[in-house]
Amino acid sequence: MDKPIAWYDPTNGVVSTDNDCPLFTPLGQIWGLYPKEEWVGLTELEKAEITSLKWWDWEDTFDIDGFIRAIEAKLKEKNT
């Protein structure tokens, strides 16, 4: 895991890039704050795979919920 980019003292709400900040509560626990990982989107191939699936039911209506669930599932797989 990456190094923290800052520290947070939950007892008084202070955030600092210095883990020895004098504003942190004495004997308090500080939490490291880490950079957020970059979002990973869908590739053109993955978009094509999702759009090639049959999203119409027997009445020839579009299944938007199923389409959204497929997109969410693929993005969750790539970003967790």
Contact 54, 33 (CB under 8 A): no
- Chain segment 43-64, per-residue pLDDT in tens: 999 888 888 877 666 666 677 7
Question: Residue ranges of the alpha helices (H) in the chain?
Answer: 44-52, 64-79
SS3 7: strand
| Residues 54-80, mean pLDDT to the nearest whole number | 78
Domain boundaries, the chain: 1-36, 44-79
Is the entire prediction scored with pTM above 0.85? Answer: no
